[in-house]
Amino acid sequence: MTTPPPAQIGMPLSEVETPALLLELDAFERNLQRMAEAVAGSGLRLRPHAKTHKCAVIAMRQLAHGAVGVCCQKVGEAEAMVLGGVPDVYVSNEIVGERKVARLAALARQARVSTCVDDPAQVAALSAAAQAYGVELPVYVEIDVGANRCGTAPGAPGAALAREVAAAPGLHFAGLQAYHGSAQHLRTQAERAEAVQSAVAKVRETTEALQQAGLPCETVTGAGTGTFVHERDSGVYHELQVGSYIFMDADYGQNLDADGKPVRTFEHSLFVYATVMSRPTPQKVIVDAGLKALAVDAGLPWVPDVPGATFERCSDEHGRIALADGAAGPAIGDKLRLIPGHCDPTVNLHDWYVGIRKGRVEALWPIVARGAGL
Amino acid sequence: MTTPPPAQIGMPLSEVETPALLLELDAFERNLQRMAEAVAGSGLRLRPHAKTHKCAVIAMRQLAHGAVGVCCQKVGEAEAMVLGGVPDVYVSNEIVGERKVARLAALARQARVSTCVDDPAQVAALSAAAQAYGVELPVYVEIDVGANRCGTAPGAPGAALAREVAAAPGLHFAGLQAYHGSAQHLRTQAERAEAVQSAVAKVRETTEALQQAGLPCETVTGAGTGTFVHERDSGVYHELQVGSYIFMDADYGQNLDADGKPVRTFEHSLFVYATVMSRPTPQKVIVDAGLKALAVDAGLPWVPDVPGATFERCSDEHGRIALADGAAGPAIGDKLRLIPGHCDPTVNLHDWYVGIRKGRVEALWPIVARGAGL
């Protein structure tokens, strides 16, 4: 049930089978370097999100560039990262279910494993498992800072739950999970700055309530690729959970800087490689990558290599690309690169990264946590 | 890199780990039976599309219910079906690339393998591979009957390409591929009937051109779950490629019959099972199934088991469900079923079907062609 890699090391790019997930290694490494530089000297810790790449090889490269560990969303992802050598994994998500909580506690015997809660029911389950496995789990309290998803209300409710964590045997209150997901994709810098300002106010409200309760807040953790400069400069965050910066995608490619120009701090390094399988009309190009190779929830992919080309429809196994009038399009059998609309769920459709440098396959990295939803 | 199954046979449903892909076996078997009845006596052959389920176990059940073989879209799917015991596989798609075409011809030594073309370049590549492997490949000519994707224009262009197929060593001209994909999801029966009428006219135009060219058209193949009654009754189709009827999904659930009521010939048998992981407010339910467990390209899932519940937002690993005012919602740890918006790409996110009957796990079927994009 594991698919074979679509390439062999040493092949020219043009021989890679499609659809394939390409990682342009030079751009990827520049992204690693730029994030390290952006955080250096700030006093903050970098804890990139492994939900983006699901690959232990990439996690270890992030650690080599200064990360203190990684975040995950699922216990299965955390298991894959620890097996792959990551010594410190934070499951930045509420883990519910007896077997999952047991797996989390068991994993904490192999590595530093932390997680978060937003309800007393989760606290009780984690405490029981931590005691059963003889571990102490660092536990964060998630507060809703604007994502409108999980999290307690800021202020007193967050502090009340923190008290329960601190009092629970086997658990250590580690701080606040304060991630503003929807802020990442606000298009203007002013909107993103304002959203993070509002998140920061909610964090402050909660840290003050914690102080009144006599509970120190060691760490405030959050931020994503779209907003991390604001969290970094906020004075309240300690740890950054950026994920997409290593790859970028067409959605992030639409974020604008203070001058209204696309933010280009990080480069597109992730591509879906596709073959032209049909040329039914001069203006129509059909490629062999559809919904099973590309996530379209955040929009259709871009076609960077073909001038005048627009990806206009995605069905299960096909992509339809329209060419501008007069554009000379590719021929049947030609291959082209697509920039996915949304990198995380696109990665989850593939089993291998095909690492490319200077037009040649240099690496094949297994996406070990692909499908690790449990 | 293969994920373990989320259940064990014999477990009660409530113990199945989430997210999991559930198959309600009674409903699934009724769907198999109803399609067999709908085709019986019509003189048409049933060749269900395995791109929907990617599972050899299900393919063999379809054969046991009268199917003559299956369709696939990818060579990797066809390989998985033949390995799983299917003796007759039609790859209803243009296969481009030297290695893929070689694999297709090699597979034709193990089973009856056919495919389709819409360009002379594909004919030449298939002919070379068929000769190299010493096989005769049945090849269909795809005509565009309204899907606006692959396919030659109907009439003379289709007949001209058919002549090239018939003349190519190692290939046998088998007939016409005439699938109207976008017609499947037109909401009213009148719209669907009209779309198929238009497709039928294009098929007729092409079979007449074939007749003038002295080329017999043995088989016209096409149709999907939304329209198959119209192709069945058209007088020009010979083979039906229905896929989704075994599962149904929220998108198909919106198709209307002649009386304007939802078509209920087939039942929803496929569900994503999810756990409530957070209850941040009385009206908000967060479940542990997001974009990596559910395809949302055709709309968000339905929540059939919770009155007044609407699935309103899907992020990578979370689903947000809103409850109507006053609705008593589920608690943290409770599990619920979701009807996916689109079954095919949802299946492709999972490695196992958890077969359920009367609330107990009865079967675990591997999705052997999950991710088989090559």
Kindly provide the ipTM of the predicted complex, given to two decimals: 0.96
pLDDT in tens, B100-150: 999 999 999 999 999 999 999 999 999 999 999 999 999 999 999 999 999
Query: Distance between CA atoms of A296 and A307, rounded to whole angstroms?
Result: 22
A68 touches chain B (CB under 8 A): no
Shortest Cα distance, chain A CAs vs residue B288, angstroms: 9
B residues 190-209 lying closer than 8 A (beta carbon) to A: none
Please, what is the angle between helix B156-167 and helix B189-212, to 10°? 50
Which backbone phi and psi does A108 adopt, to 5 degrees?
-70, -10
Bond prior to B19 in cis (omega within 30° of 0): yes
The stretches in chain A having pLDDT less than 70 are 1-2
User: Measured between beta carbons, which residues in chain B are less than 8 angstroms from residue A348?
Assistant: 292, 349
Which of B145, B202, B288 should one mutate to test binding to chain A, selecting the residue with the greatest count of A CBs within 10 A? B288
Q: What is the structure's pLDDT at A64?
A: 98
Out of B73, B293, B315, whose CB is closest to A373? Answer: B293
Question: Which residue of A lies nearest to B347 if distances are taken between CA atoms?
Answer: A292
Which of A22, A316, A354 should one mutate to test binding to chain B, selecting the residue with the greatest count of B CBs within 10 A? A316
Q: What is the largest CA-CA distance in chain B?
A: 71
pLDDT in tens, A230-269: 999 999 999 999 999 999 999 999 999 999 999 999 999 9
pLDDT in tens, B155-199: 999 999 999 999 999 999 999 999 999 999 999 999 999 999 999
A292 touches chain B (CB under 8 A): yes
Say if the Cβ atoms of A286 and B149 lie within 8 Å: yes
Asked if residue B196 lies in contact with residue B230, where contact means CB atoms within 8 angstroms, the answer is yes
Contacts for B281 with CB less than 8 Å, ≥ 6 apart: none
Mean pLDDT by 10 residues, chain B (374 residues): 87 98 98 98 97 98 98 98 98 98 98 98 98 98 97 98 98 98 95 97 98 96 97 98 97 95 96 98 97 97 95 98 90 98 98 98 97 95
User: Measured between beta carbons, which residues in chain A are less than 8 angstroms from residue B94?
Assistant: 277-278, 286
Question: Which residue of A lies nearest to B291 if distances are taken between CA atoms?
Answer: A345
Segment (H or E) for B31:
helix B25-39
β-pair type (B270-281, B20-24): antiparallel
Query: Distance between CA atoms of A42 and B328, rounded to whole angstroms?
Result: 47
The secondary structure of residue B256, as a DSSP letter, is: B
User: Measured between beta carbons, which residues in chain B are less than 8 angstroms from residue A367?
Assistant: 1
A62 touches chain B (CB under 8 A): no
Average pLDDT, chain B: 97
Q: What is the structure's pLDDT at B124?
A: 98
Out of B96, B148, B295, whose CB is closest to A275? Answer: B96
User: Measured between beta carbons, which residues in chain B are less than 8 angstroms from residue A370?
Assistant: 1, 371
What are A256's two structure tokens? 């604008």
Segment (H or E) for B88:
strand B88-94
Which of A180, A297, A343 should one mutate to test binding to chain B, selecting the residue with the greatest count of B CBs within 10 A? A297
Out of A99, A296, A351, whose CB is closest to B17? Answer: A99
